[in-house]
Amino acid sequence: MKKVLEKTLSGLIFLVFWNAIAIAETTSAEVGGTNISIVPPQAWCMIDPSKLSDARLIGILRDGFRQSGSTFVIAYAECGELERWRTATQKTLNNYAILAFDDGLREFVYPGTDASFASELRQILENQGQEYLVARLEREKEVVEDVIPDTMELGKPTILGIVGEDGFSVYLGGKIPMKTEFGDLKITTFTTGTTLLNRKVVSTYLYTDNDNDPVYSGLLGKHKSWTARLRAAN
Question: pLDDT at residue 132 above 80?
Answer: no
Confidence of residue 19 (pLDDT cuts 50, 70, 90): very low
Question: pLDDT at residue 130 above 70?
Answer: no
Range with the lowest mean pLDDT among 60-74, 75-89, 149-163?
A: 149-163
Question: pLDDT at residue 122 above 50?
Answer: yes
pLDDT in tens, 183-232: 788 888 888 899 899 999 988 999 888 666 665 678 899 999 999 999 99
First to last CA, the chain: 23
Residue by residue, DSSP assigns 162-229 as EEEE-SSEEEEEEEEEEE-TTS-EEEEEEEEEEEEETTEEEEEEEEES--SHHHHHHHHHHHHHHHHH
* Residues forming a β-bridge with 38: 27
* Residues forming a β-bridge with 208: 95, 189
Q: Give the mean model confidence (pLDDT) for residues 69-83.
A: 89
Instruction: Give the chain's count of helices (H) and strands (E).
Output: 5, 10
Predicted TM-score (pTM) of this structure:
0.83
Distance (Å, whole) CA 212 – CA 209 = 10
- Are 168 and 196 spatial neighbours (Cβ–Cβ below 8 Å)? yes
